[in-house]
């Protein structure tokens, strides 16, 4: 089981994408290298398993979400990669007056009720540190909202992670 979960790490944010969004991402790119077919299949199956849970969550929470008021303006951290934005983000999350998106929430943006199931999947498929900078990470760590956007919409730059040969298309268009 652990091997299967780790094998989809190449498509790691997509494991929390909706089935519809995942199909749009595949359709937009149309070409998948043969060596990634198994990973695409595993992500597709996971997306299909998640579909009823997402529907139940939408049905159960839709009124609460629509009634929610956001009273304070958000704080945006804008900066170039490797300039300290993650460090600043992590520092701000230590202050209880600020909320933040966790890694689990970013990877599964439509799955808050069923979070324990997805927490296990995330924990089994994640490494203990981020690959680029060795910063510790787990499912409760602060995470960029860009991963959630990639799971909600097919037009995000992080979707280029699945199709690296099309990175320039994503970079210039999204």
What is the pLDDT averaged over residues 77-99?
90
State residue 100's pLDDT score.
Answer: 92
Rounded Cα distance between 17 and 48, Å, is 10
How far from chain centre, in Å, is Cα 157? 12
Model pLDDT, residue 9: 53
Q: Write the pLDDT tens digit of every residue in 143-170.
A: 888 888 888 888 878 888 777 788 888 8
CB count within 10 Å of CB 105 equals 22
Give the model's confidence band at 135: pLDDT under 50 very low, under 70 low, under 90 confident, else very high: confident
Specify the range with the lowest mean pLDDT, choosing from 36-45, 96-105, 125-134, 144-153.
125-134
d(CA 125, CA 24): 24
Q: And the tokens for 6?
A: 């780790």
Checking if the pLDDT of 8 tops 60, the result is: no
Domain ranges of the chain: 2-127+137-173
- Comparing 4-13, 21-30, 72-81, the range with the smallest average pLDDT is 4-13
Question: How many Cβ atoms are within 10 Å of 16's Cβ, its own excluded?
Answer: 29
Rounded to two decimals, the pTM is 0.77
pLDDT at residue 91 is higher than 90: yes
Q: What is the mean pLDDT of residues 25-36?
A: 81
pLDDT of residue 122: 72
Say what the pLDDT of residue 7 is: 47
What is the distance between the alpha carbons of residues 15 and 136, in angstroms, rounded to a whole number?
21
- What confidence score (pLDDT) does residue 29 get? 79
Over pLDDT 90: what percentage of the chain?
Answer: 13
Residue 3 has pLDDT above 60, yes or no: no
Token pair listed for 137 = 């990470």
pLDDT tens digit sequence for 51-67: 888 888 889 888 998 99
């Amino acid at each position: 089981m652990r091997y299967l979960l780790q094998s989809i790490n190449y498509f790691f944010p997509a494991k929390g994408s909706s089935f519809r969004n995942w199909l749009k991402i595949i359709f937009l790119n149309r070409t998948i290298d043969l060596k990634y077919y198994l990973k695409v299949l595993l992500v597709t199956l996971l997306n299909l398993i998640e579909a009823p849970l997402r529907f139940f969550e939408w049905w159960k929470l839709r009124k609460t979400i629509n009634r929610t008021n956001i009273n304070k303006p958000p704080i945006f951290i804008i900066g170039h990669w490797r300039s300290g934005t993650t460090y600043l983000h992590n520092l701000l999350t230590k202050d209880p007056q600020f909320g933040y998106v966790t890694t689990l929430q970013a990877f599964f943006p439509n799955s808050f009720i069923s979070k324990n199931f997805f927490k296990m999947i995330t924990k089994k498929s994640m490494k203990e540190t981020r690959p680029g900078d060795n910063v510790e990470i787990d499912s409760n760590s602060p995470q960029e909202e860009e991963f959630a956007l990639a799971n909600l919409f097919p037009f995000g730059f992080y979707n280029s992670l699945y199709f690296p040969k099309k990175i320039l298309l994503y970079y210039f268009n999204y």
